[in-house]
Amino acid sequence: MDIGTLLGIIACFGLIVTAVLLGGSLGAFIDIPSVCIVIGGTIGVTFIMYPMGTVFGSFKVMMNAFFAKKPKPLELVSKVVELAEIARKESLVALEKADVDDPFLKKGVLMVADGTEEHLIRSIMETEINFMKQRHRQGQGIFKSMGAMAPAFGMIGTLVGLVNMLQNLEDPSSIGPAMAVALLTTFYGAVLANVVFLPIATKLGERSTEDTLYMEITVEGVVSILNGENPRIISDKLEAYLAPFLRENNKE
């Protein structure tokens, strides 16, 4: 996980807990039924909206976005150049035994070694890119929906609390605490949406852009190897995709 992400999560929850402790006790902010209605309701609606497989899949996609190693385009470029050199010195078939970690690059290189035609390689690899983008987009959609539903259930919970409170106004001293509890679901909904669901949705979008660029460079590289292009020219060509912003980023 990115160190910035970790610090961001710690900062957000740390600040909210501190704000709570400065003016009261943490206990006053924990109300199990309120937690249940907001989290349970949000998850429940998600299962009405999307097929089960898609929902579970989206959690896997999210885990990847946070924990999978960030793609390193510069390393990819040197790997492709290395493979291009093997292909020129030995032969395309020699690529079969080459040491490639990245499964997407591996798949492409094996197709090259198998003598697959260029347009077929392109079509197969681009189909995979499209499905990855679709998976990310679907994952984003689910977390955006949850980001919209959490505040909605927060409001529903608060309305339930308010109606119950207004029915029993005899004891004035109970009004304040009852209202406080009613507001808790709104609070939970706002925190869940803004600190959890919406940032995850944004993260998935960012990650999708990065991964897509990385995979597009892979496709170009594999095709260049197939065409037996000069390794130095391949290097220049692929780095053009990075320049100037990503290059700098990678050198940092």
Q: Which of residues 150-169 bind a copy of itself (CB under 8 A)?
A: 152-153, 155-157, 159-169
Give the footprint of a copy of itself on residues 210-229 (CB under 8 A): none
36 binds a copy of itself (CB under 8 A): yes
- Using CB under 8 A as the binding criterion, the count of chain residues that bind a copy of itself stands at 93
| Distance set, CA 211 to CA 48, 78, 108, 214 (Å) | 30, 17, 16, 5
Give the footprint of a copy of itself on residues 121-140 (CB under 8 A): 124, 127-128, 131, 134-135
Q: Which is nearer to a copy of itself, 79 or 203 (CB)?
A: 203
252 binds a copy of itself (CB under 8 A): yes
Tell which one of 29, 106, 110, 216 touches a copy of itself (CB under 8 A): 29
Burial class of 206 by CB neighbour count within 10 A (0 to 12, 13 to 18, 19+): exposed
177 binds a copy of itself (CB under 8 A): yes
DSSP letter for 70, please.
Answer: P
96/100 Cα distance (integer angstroms): 10
Q: Reduce the secondary structure of 100-118 to three states and give it as a string.
A: CCCHHHHHHHHHHHCCCCH
Give the footprint of a copy of itself on residues 54-83 (CB under 8 A): 54-55, 57, 70
Tell which one of 50, 100, 110, 235 touches a copy of itself (CB under 8 A): 50
Tell which one of 75, 91, 176, 227 touches a copy of itself (CB under 8 A): 176
Contact 126, 220 (CB under 8 A): no
Q: Which is nearer to a copy of itself, 42 or 109 (CB)?
A: 42
Contact 107, 126 (CB under 8 A): no
Q: For residue 221, which of 235, 232, 240, 203 has the smallest C-alpha distance?
A: 235
26 binds a copy of itself (CB under 8 A): no
List the Cα angle 145/148/151 in 5-degree steps. 140
Tell which one of 122, 199, 212, 229 touches a copy of itself (CB under 8 A): 199
Q: Which is nearer to a copy of itself, 95 or 153 (CB)?
A: 153
Q: Which is nearer to a copy of itself, 79 or 144 (CB)?
A: 144
Q: For residue 104, which of 58, 138, 73 has the smallest C-alpha distance?
A: 73
